[in-house]
Amino acid sequence: MERMIEIGGLSDELLNRLDERASQVGVDRGSYVRHLIERAVAPPSSAASLAELLGPVHDYTDAHGLSEEEIEQFFTEQLTDSRRGRRRVDESGRHTH
């Protein structure tokens, strides 16, 4: 059985941002809010799938029209930077972490 909830105290600015985000991922406001609620109340173990963890990344890349190549380049650069940071060696010759 579906229920309806009413939320008071939302500013026009917040509603505009909500509509903008919903539009970016290609859904209406109600569907987007429903998705947010479902995600917020999901058991912690259900967030373990990689697809769910990467959901916001997929939403962002879809909304901004990034190509597979651009996404791959971004993640490659981030991974390289992260590895470079872990491999830095301090003055005594020990690896820093």
Per-residue pLDDT of 49-81, as tens digits, reads: 777 778 778 888 888 888 889 888 988 998 898
CA–CA distances in Å: residue 80 to residues 15, 54, 71, 83, 93: 39, 20, 14, 5, 21
pLDDT at position 56, please?
Answer: 79
Q: Where are the domains of the chain?
A: 1-41, 45-89
Does residue 18 register a pLDDT over 80? yes
Q: For position 17, what pLDDT does the model report? A: 93
Asked if 86 and 47 touch (Cβ cutoff 8 Å), the reply is no
Predicted TM-score of the model (pTM): 0.49
Task: Reply yes or no on whether the pLDDT at 16 is more than 60.
Answer: yes
Query: Would you tell me the crossing angle of helices 12-24 and 55-63 to the nearest 10 degrees?
Result: 90
The shares of helix, strand and coil residues in the chain, as percent rounded to the nearest 5, are: 65, 0, 30
